[in-house]
Amino acid sequence: MNAVSAARKECCSSLNVLVIAQYFPPDLGGSATRAYNLAKGLSLNGCSVSVVAAFPHYPHGEIPREYRWKPLKVEWMGKIKVIRAFMPPIKSEGFFKRLVLIGVFAVSSLFALPFVGKVDAVWSSSWVPGIVYGKVKRRPVALNEDDLTLEDLVDLGLISEDSLVLRIAEWVYRVFLVKADAVTPISPAYVETLSKKYCVEKSRIHVVRGGVDLSVFRPSGHKRESGKFVVLYSGAFSVAYDFEQIMKAAKIVEEVDGDVEFVVQGKGELLGSMLSKVAELNVKSVKIVDKLLSRQEVAELLGQADALILPLAEYDKPYRGMSSKLYEYQAVGKPIICCSRGLPSVYVRETDSGLAVYPGDHEALAKAVMSLKEDYELARTMGENGRKYVENNVTTEAIGSKMKEIFETLIERRD
């Protein structure tokens, strides 16, 4: 091995990776989970990881006291250095408020430049600062794709396909994506759209799944004190989910079996409508827990349930995304009920880790709940299947290893 090759190998074995993410724990949502899992996975693979993230704010808009009146705050999560950038106390709801939050972070995140130190590669779920940091540091940039956001807005009926705003947004997306050295979607179903619609060369697209931290999410023998069969959702109360389906299913179930409890825990913009629907249906078996929990607390809560539910809303087309919540559900060894007409339901079926029903079909959901309650062996087997799958395929260490390999290739091409 010559001196140049040896130096290159040494550089790649100790990469300094900068992760840029507006959402980062304790924020809720798949984007925060994705960024954390990737950062930890890279750290587990010997990389020195720094994170530029916003003050905790999602989805409630409440900035913790220790961050107020500060432009930046540096803290540590284990070996990961986290530089928190200013965010205003604005609740994440509606198009305009979300746009303001994105714009503020695009600017405030740049004030962390003097504090990030040496950077060999950049991974960013926030595209503007990602490209800027890459240019300033002259390092390769991987832009993340958690969601096909624009396509989802159309599929949910929140914006017209002929909208001028949508056309402009698509053009902006295309400009950023073609500038990236790599694009890392969480779902294989995103590849064709990124390639054909946004002109990203397939050789630059690398599917890196959301992953799960098995040191936090693991099977637990604990059970909720109610003693009932508990069906649980934990996460954001956002428009991506159909909580009415849960409530209508609960109404059916409680009329035939009073020993089932539905727990919906989290925070978000739909809380008011959820409480109203519970009152309207006069359903007694649904418990809404309006509370933000730490990752450890979420893991413990999941472990106390008997079955876990992913109630995705109905989209005009089969859903192409892949919720990181599914990996966490599998990791705690519980059977899943997936309400989806797309990739998540296919994934649950293929891994034999739960049951799938169509979004909005509350009768099918009620039947799935009763099937798992009445067949303990089926529920146990599905829970075990899910745990085995994530152990073998989507640990944080595994996704970190894949991302590190991608960066090593990008660095080698540049050098």
Q: State the average pLDDT over residues 385-413.
A: 95
Query: What is the percentage of the chain residues whose pLDDT exceeds 70?
Result: 92
Strand order in the sheet with 354-357: 286-290, 260-267, 229-236, 307-311, 336-339, 354-357
pLDDT, one tens digit per residue, over 206-263 is 999 989 999 999 998 666 666 799 999 998 898 889 999 999 999 999 999 989 999 9
362 and 406 together in one domain: no
* Domain annotation covers residue 223: no
* C-alpha 66: how far from chain center: 25
What is the spatial distance between Cα 354 and Cα 308, in angstroms, rounded to a whole number? 9
User: In this structure, which amino acid lies at residue 84?
Assistant: R
Pick the closest to residue 292 from 325, 267, 263, 318 (CA basis).
Answer: 267
Domain containing 291 equals: 229-393
Task: Please check whether residue 381 is in contact with residue 21, taking contact to mean a CB–CB distance below 8 angstroms.
Answer: no
Whether 222 is in a domain gets the answer no
Assess whether 295 and 369 both reside in one domain.
yes
Is residue 362, in this structure, part of any structural domain at all? Answer: yes
Convert the pLDDT of each residue in 134-175 to its tens digit: 999 999 999 998 877 767 676 666 677 777 877 787 788 888
Q: How many structural domains does the chain have?
A: 2
Do 66 and 11 reside in the same domain of the chain?
Answer: yes
What CATH number is associated with residue 89?
Answer: 3.40.50.2000
Q: What is the pLDDT of residue 161?
A: 73
55 neighbors 44 (Cβ within 8 angstroms) = no
Query: pLDDT digit string (tens) for 66-124?
Result: 998 889 999 999 999 999 999 998 887 766 787 888 889 999 999 999 999 899 999 99
Lowest mean pLDDT of 5-14, 116-125, 227-236, 365-374, name the range.
5-14
Strand pairing category for 229-236 and 182-185:
unpaired
Whether 54 and 188 share a structural domain: yes
Measure the CA angle with vertex 87, ends 293 and 154; round to 5°. 80
- Of 205, 177, 170, 211, the C-alpha closest to 191 is 205
188 shares a domain with 115: yes
224 is a domain residue: no
**Whole-number Å distance between alpha carbons of 35 and 77:** 13
Is 218 within a domain?
Answer: no
Closest CA to 124 of 106, 97, 101: 106
Q: Is residue 400 part of a domain?
A: yes
DSSP assignment, residue 268? S
Asked if residues 336 and 350 have their Cβ atoms less than 8 Å apart, the reply is no
Q: Do residues 164 and 31 both lie within one domain?
A: yes
Instruction: Specify whether 297 is located in the same domain as 358.
Output: yes
Average pLDDT of the chain is 89
Q: Are residues 117 and 12 in the same domain?
A: yes
pLDDT at 13: 57
Distances (CA, A) of 333 to 81, 87, 158, 347, 393: 31, 37, 35, 16, 15
Banded model confidence at residue 176, pLDDT cuts 50, 70, 90:
confident
| pLDDT given for residue 110 in this prediction | 95
- Asked if residue 166 and residue 129 are part of one domain, the reply reads yes
Q: Given a cut of 70, is residue 397 above it in pLDDT? A: yes
Helical axes 127-137 vs 95-108, angle rounded to 10°: 20
Find the helix or strand (DSSP H, E) in which 311 lies: strand 307-311
Give the pLDDT of residue 6.
Answer: 43
Asked whether residue 311 is domain-assigned, the answer is yes
How big, in percent rounded to 5, are the helix, strand and coil portions of the chain? 45, 20, 35
In a domain, 89, yes or no: yes
Pair 247, 269 in one domain:
yes
274/239 Cα distance (integer angstroms): 11
* Residues 178 and 259 occupy one common structural domain: no
289 and 405 belong to one structural domain: no
Structural contact between residues 93 and 158, judged by C-beta atoms closer than 8 angstroms: no
Span 252-301, pLDDT tens digits: 999 999 899 999 999 888 999 999 999 999 999 999 999 888 888 999 99
d(CA 234, CA 283): 19
Region 350-366 average pLDDT? 96
Dump the DSSP string for 57-123. -TTT-PPPGGGTT-SEEEEEETTEEEEEE---S----SHHHHHHHHHHHHHHGGGGGGGS---SEEE
C-alpha neighbours within 13 Å on the C-beta side of residue 407:
31
Contacts of 99 (CB under 8 A, 6+ apart): none
